[in-house]
Structures are given as C-alpha cells and as structure tokens.
Amino acid sequence: MFERLQWLSALDLALLATDYVTIGLGLVISYIAYRGYRNNRNTPMLFVAAGFVLLMGGPGLLGILFFVLPVGQTAIAILTQASEVAGMCSILYGLWVDPS
C-alpha cells in the first residue's frame, strides 16, 4: 500500500511530515474563516474559507492518493496545480468583492 514511502530517506520523510503540518494549519485557517462566515453571514469569508480548503486540503489529499493509489505523478501534479489555482482565485475573489 505504501510502497513509495520505503524509498524515501529520513530527511524526505521529515519534509513530508512538515508538509502535512502546514496543510493542517491551512485547514484550521479555513475552518476559522468558515466560522467567520457562519457568524456574520459575510459571503466573502465563505470564498476565503473555500479557497484555503482548495489551496491546502486539495494538494494534501492528492499527496495521500499518490502514495496510496497507483496514480501517475503527472496526473497528481496537474490536479494539484488546478486545486491551488482555484484556491488562490477563490481567496482573491473573497478579498476583492464588496461584502455588502
């Protein structure tokens, strides 16, 4: 199941672990932004929350799929970039749009 992990060095595994700490922090930020939306019904905050999920959660999930499923590296790279671009656009829209 995790055959790809056996080829990683200790440094690579440490870097992978810190990547998932960063992803966790991004998802916590998205949850806080969602709570801001829910408490104030501020629609731009919903876009910021969704953007952080796409920016951090999407690549994290795809990274797990890369190690668990026999998915090609090119497909994962394309989907990761698409998720990151969509997340950045969502955050930009949430920060740009008038909250009224």
DSSP state of 57: I
pLDDT of residue 69: 79
Burial of 90 (C-beta count, 10 Å sphere; 0-12/13-18/19+): buried
Q: For residue 10, is it left (φ>0), alpha (ψ between -120 and 50) or beta?
A: alpha
46-85 tens-digit pLDDT: 999 999 999 999 988 888 888 777 888 899 999 999 999 9
What is the model's pTM?
0.81
Taking residues 81-94, report their average pLDDT: 96
Give 34's pLDDT tier (boundaries 50, 70, 90). very high
DSSP state of 6: G
3-19 tens-digit pLDDT: 666 777 888 788 878 88
